[in-house]
A and B are shown apart, each in its own frame.
Chain A
Amino acid sequence: MPKLIKDKAIVENAWQWLAVNDEDAAPTVPVGQVIVPLKLWLAQRDTLGSRQDVGVYLQNDENPEDLKDDVSKLPLIAIEFPAFMDGRGFTLGRLFRERYGFKGELRAAGGFIRDQLTYLSRCGFNAFDCNETFDLDSALSSLNDLPEYYQAAADQELPLFRRRD
């Protein structure tokens, strides 16, 4: 089974990613832990909402507000990074954590790189599906590259100026 980083450890990826190619299709969502695209979730919310094993993934140009009312139920939200230079996902992460109060697994997927892990985790991501593009063991250490910081973010509610002594 492919592995990923979750909560600062290397774990098995138990979730299956449901890709939907045809926009109009209304696919049946298989049993087991599945991550479905936002559109599909919105279309089938009534049925999928009763399951505990369905997560949702967003492209980084989709509106996080669409999930506002679901965050308390969802076990997992994934955000897809189309390329590592595209930083919209950092904002989405903070919105889910800080604005909508999402407590479940917030997973980064797609094109991010190891050297972004420390910022990603500050923005609220706790799981990193690295697609095996980089070595997980060494990546783990990058999570803690910058242990002190000035700003408030998803991982630290208080900016340094409220903590300084």
Chain B
Amino acid sequence: MYAYDQYDHQIISDRVAQFRGQTERYLAGDLKEEEFLPLRLQNGLYVQRLAPMLRVNVPYGMLNSTQLRRLAHIARAYDKGYCHISTRQNVQFNWPELANVPDILAELAEVEMHATQSSGNCIRNTTSDQFAGIAPDEEIDPRPYCEIIRQWSTLHPEFAFLPRKFKVAVTGANDDRAAVQLHDIGLQVVQNDAGEIGFKVIVGGGLGRTPVLGSLIKEFLPQQHLLSYMEAILRVYNLLGRRDNKYKARIKILVRAMGAEAFAEKVDAEWEFLKDGPSTLTLEEIERAKRFFTEPAYETLDAAAAEASLDAQAKEHKAFKIWLTRNVREHRKAGYAAVTLSLKPTGVAPGDVTDSQLDTIAGLADQFSFAEVRTTHEQNIVLGDVRKSDLFELWQAAKVAGFATPNIGTLTDMICCPGGDFCSLANAKSIPIAESIQRRFDDMDYLYDLGDIDLNISGCMNACGHHHVGHIGILGVDKKGAEFYQVQLGGSAGSDASLGKVLGPAFGQDEMSDVITKLLDVFVEIRRGDELFIDTYRRVGLVPFKERVYAKAN
């Protein structure tokens, strides 16, 4: 994982000092509310419904155990003893005091973390594949490039006051787990026929009010040009993006208005001036970044023996067997596996984790996974490098700590934004919907029979819960001051990305679990063999689902 040198430390601590001064001026009445607003946002601080919310960047989802313990300490000392893993792999604290935020940021800086640009109209934290560096289907580890982008985008003087927020995601795998088609810039690291490394560049994807899949504007961008090309994209956007209407200000609107081809030409014209300039990456710099993401000290393990003993343990413990199927994934290194700790037990807001749980996860990471974890956009935490022979012991420990709910990928492993319980932008609550669905579908065998289903819930159009790309998406809407929920079907965030279609009129909160039940009944009836929900939907379309859900009771 990346380690700061004296430059990184200086940059981040100067930033904390700057924000400390700004906060003091604000509290003393020397800085106007509207001027402090973007400054605090660019340091991670929102003002939410009940209290400020501080969003801390987790660069491309990587955390070490020292950082986990520091997050636990912050949750304890400055908050109410818990925090939240966001749908962009970040960590959110819901109850910090404004006056304490500079201290929190200073504590984060000590462990090489920051909240710079975690909100505001600027380049946000770069996200990636939670299985980067360990997935068997990965071609190239995206993390060195993510770190290069993190550094370039951090405190970029030209792009701190963009028309709107700007999100970048990078993947290096064929199976896209970073949703690169749904970001302002999506990058896929690839190798061409000549053996050179470069990027497929997609722009203008995104969710929110106008969900749209991104357009490919560069089939192969040689790696050394990464920053100059991104700078060209950002520059075109900064100059031409709309500023008159915040709902039309994202780059996707510009790309759509110009047409992807014309946009790409404009970027190329700008790039002509920047290409081969000093921001061109040197091979040394790429190598330097890569050195932080080399393999950990894997042992040479007897994979066959590990499999055999796993099989034996699985035979004896059915629950362990189920957990192995749902929460454990193949690893590229023989004898190792990646384990997802579920933050979705019923009754807990999806993605919430307490201070003592964070400490526990830190301990598990130290013991089982080279002291590192990854946060996921599905709001779980992954231990990336676990010896298969340790899985049984890890499972037992995870069970005690409450992370072993074997629901990864199932209906109850849902993505859910904080919604009306916390968020001041919400139209409706989302956490109670998640909970009512989790309570309804408490029969694990039924969930396993259903197979993988992405259920995504957002409390408003801003789509932090990615409802457009859930196989089933739920969107909170406001109808004359009352909370209602619109259902969408057929979204997907993967390589086969698609946007969901609205089923029909919205429902009240108490109807929602019945609606989901009906949808799943239809699915079970018309499903062919082990077909997944999304595939059935793609085969039959909206109609059969719609007919059942809106059928008049008689």
**Residues of A in contact with B (beta carbons under 8 Å apart):** 84-88, 90-91, 94, 99, 113, 115-116, 118-120, 122-123, 145-153, 157-162, 164
Contacts and interface: CB of A to CB of B under 8 A. Distances in A.
A150 B11 contact: yes
Given A91-B235, A151-B279, A86 B161 contact: yes
B371 to A, nearest CB: 26
B281 interface: yes
B279 A159 contact: yes
Given A150-B11, A159-B278, 9 more contacts: A84-B38, A85-B38, A86-B161, A87-B158, A88-B238, A94-B158, A99-B273, A115-B22, A161-B281
Contacts of B159: 87, 90
B18 interface: yes
Interface string B256-284: 00000000000000000100011101100
B30 to A, nearest CB: 9
B152 to A, nearest CB: 6
B238 A146 contact: no
B436 interface: no
B450 to A, nearest CB: 47
Among A87, A90, A123, the most chain B Cβ lie within 10 Å of the Cβ of: A87
9 contacts: A85-B38, A85-B121, A87-B158, A115-B18, A123-B157, A147-B10, A148-B11, A151-B152, A161-B285
Contacts of B35: 84, 113, 115
Among A113, A115, A162, the most chain B Cβ lie within 10 Å of the Cβ of: A115
Please give me the 10 A-B residue pairs with the lowest Cβ-Cβ distance, nearest first: A87-B161, A122-B157, A119-B157, A161-B285, A150-B151, A145-B18, A90-B158, A152-B278, A148-B10, A91-B238
A152 B279 CA distance: 7
Contacts of A84: 35, 38, 161
A88 B239 contact: yes
Contacts of B162: 87
Interface string B29-43: 001000100110000
Contacts of A85: 38, 121, 161
Interface string B96-128: 000000000000000000000000010000000
B155 A146 contact: yes
Interface string B5-35: 1010011001101100110000000010001
A157 B161 contact: no
A94 B379 CA distance: 40
B233 to A, nearest CB: 12
A11 B105 CA distance: 36
Interface of B: 5, 7, 10-11, 14-15, 17-18, 21-22, 31, 35, 38-39, 121, 148, 151-152, 154-162, 227, 235, 238-239, 243, 273, 277-279, 281-282, 285, 288
B369 to A, nearest CB: 30
B238 A87 contact: yes
A149 B235 contact: no
Nearest to B148: A161
Contacts of A150: 11, 151-152, 154-156
A149 B160 CA distance: 14
A161 B282 contact: yes
Contacts of B38: 84-85
A99 B5 CA distance: 32
Contacts of B235: 91
